[in-house]
Structure 1
C-alpha cells in the first residue's frame, strides 16, 4: 500500500469503528519527511462527499499541541527540562487556566509538565518569556497563520491548519532545520528526462542543536509516560497531544527521525465530540499509520543527546549571562511558598551535548554561523541561522517556461 492509501484507510477505519459513536465525523492526517516533502495528506473522511481540504484550509484551535513552542521559547530564554515550577491553581487577570480534570501535581520539572500537559505551568512560562516570544518561536518554526499574542496562547487558542502545525514540528525531527514544504518531488518527460527534481532546496537552521536535544528529550516523555502512550511503537518517537475546549478538536502531532505526522479529529461545525482527547483517536491513527510506514526501515534515534540530571536534584534556571532578572520562582499566589534561596542546590556544570542532524535523504543542510533566521526577537546566537542554499528551479518556473 502507498502511504496515501494507508493514511486514508486509517482515518476511515477509526471513524467507522468508534469515531461515529464519539461524534467525530472528520479526520485529517498529514505526513512530512525531513526534506519537507508531503508523503501523505488526508483532508477529510471522504473526498467524494466533500472536496473541502481540511488539512490545508481548515483553521482549528490546536490546544496543547501548541505548547512545544511555549517550552521552546522558555528553553531559549535559559530554562532547561530540569527547571522546576509549581503546578497549582493560578490566576492571570480574570483568566484562570486549569489542568485537565482539575488535578495538580505541585513541584514538577518542565519535562514532567510537558509530558503531562499541565496548563498551569505552560501559562507560567508564557508569562515569564512573554506571549510575543512564543508567537515568534511558532512563526520561526513554520506556523504561518496569524497568532494573537496574549497569555492564553499558551493553551493554543489561536487557530492553525493541520498542514502548517505538522510542518512546524519537522525541525524537531531533522535536527533544527525548516525546509520548504512541497508536494511535487519530480517532473519527467515521457522519455524519462528529468525536468524538475525537488530535493528540498535550502533550509535555514531555526533552532540551536542543544535546544533540539532538550525538546526531543521532553517530548519523548509524552509518548513514553505522558498523554500519548497509545502512540508508542518500536521506533524512538516524540510529540504532543492537543485537545481544545469541550473536545471540539483532538490532535496528536508526533515524529520519528524518519517522518513527522499530524492527526486531527473533529466536526466541521465545531460541535463537541464525546470526551475525545488527543491521546485517544489521534494517537491511535498516528500509531497505525507510523507502524506501517516504518516497516522495513532501519531504526534511527531522534536528534540530540541531552540527558536529565538525577531526579532528586533541583536545578536552577540557566539564564544567559546578560539577563538582568532571574527566572521567577512559583510564588504563594500559585499555591506554595517559594523555597529560600539558601536551600537551593546550585546547578551542576553541564557539558555541551550537540544534536546531530538526521539524514534527510540527500537534503542539503547548511552549516552554522551567520545571522539568525528569526525576526523581531533576538534568539540565542551561534548555530541558529546560517547561509541558506539557493533554491532550485521551481515547478512554477517549469510550467510557465521561466
Structure 2
C-alpha cells in the first residue's frame, strides 16, 4: 500500500511558482526578470552608434552640399568671367585696324661696309648689324633663347596659358609685377607694332597680334624675326649686332657660353649688358645654361665646360680706326644712292691690313713724341696712284674721340691757297712774271 501510495504522488519542482498567461501557458518568474546591466549597455552603445552614423551622414551631406554650391558658383563666375574677358577683347580689338591691313614692318636697313677684299669694316644703321637666317646663326643661340624665355615655344599657339598662370601666381605671391608670362611671339608682336606701356589695352592687342603672327607665319619664321630685331643692349638690335658688339665676331661663330650670355640679356638688356655690369651678365648666363641642361639642349659635360669657361668679350666695340672710314662713307651715301631703304653692302678701296698698320703707326708716333711735341692726335691718309684711298686714320683712338680729323678738321690752307691767288692775278691780266 505504501508503494502504491508513493506511486501516485505527483513529482514536485523547485523554483518559483509559475503564473498563467492570458494565452494559456505558464510563465515563470525567471522569464520575467529584467535584462542584466551588460545587455543594457550593449543596447545603449548600439543606439549611440546609430546616432553617430546618422550624424556623420548628415555631416557628409552637409560637406558635399557646401562643395557643390562652391563648385556651382565657381562655374557661374567662370562663365561670367569668360563673357567679361570676351567683351574686353572685342572692345579693344575693335579699336585696332582691320586684320587684313596688318603687315610686318620692314626691319631697319643695315649698311655693311667691307674692305677691298670683302672683309667687314663696320656696320651702320639703326640695327647695327645685318639680318642672319636661323639656319646661318649658331644653333646655340635659338636653343638658349627658347630655354630661358619660352620653353613651350614650339607647342603653344602664340600664348602660353601655363606660363601665364605661373606668372600670375608669382606676381600675386610676390605682391609685385615681377613676371609677365609673355611668349616670344607676344614679345615680337610688341616690338613690331606696339608701345612698351603696361596697360590692359596693350596686352589685349598683343595677344591678338600674337595669334595673327602664329596664323600667318611658321614657328621658325617667327623665331628668326625675333632674333634679328630684339634689343640686346648697348645699342645692338639683333643677334648679329650683339655678337659684333660684345664678342667681336659674327653670330655664325658664337659659342655656347656666348649664346647663353646673349640669351640672358633679353630679360633686362640695359641692366644686364656686359659692357655695364659683367658680373650680373655672367650670373644670368649661368641660369641660362642650367635651363638649357634642364631642357635637354646640352649635356652635363657641356654645362660643366661652359660654366668653367665663361664668355669673354672684346674690350670695346667702338674702337678701331676703320670706324673713321665707315663714318665718312655714311656721310657720302645719300648723295650717291639717295635714301637707304634696305640692307646694302658698300665695297670700298680700303685695305684692312694697311688700315691696321696705319693705326699702329699713328699710335706709336703719339706715344713716342706726343708729349715732346705737345700733340695728342694724329691723322693719316694713304692714296695709291689711281687715286683710291687705301687707308685713312682720323685720330689716335676712335673709342675716345669719334671726330675725324682726316676729313673734317679745319686747318691752315698753306700752299693750297696759291692757285686761287695766281688765278685771280691771271684773270686780272698779269703774267707769270
TM-score tier, shorter chain, comes to under 0.3
Q: Which has the higher contact order (CA 8 A, sep 6+)?
A: 1
TM-score by length of 1: 0.22
Greater Rg, structure 1 or structure 2?
2
TM-score by length of 2: 0.21
Structure with greater strand percent: 1
Structure with greater helix percent: 2
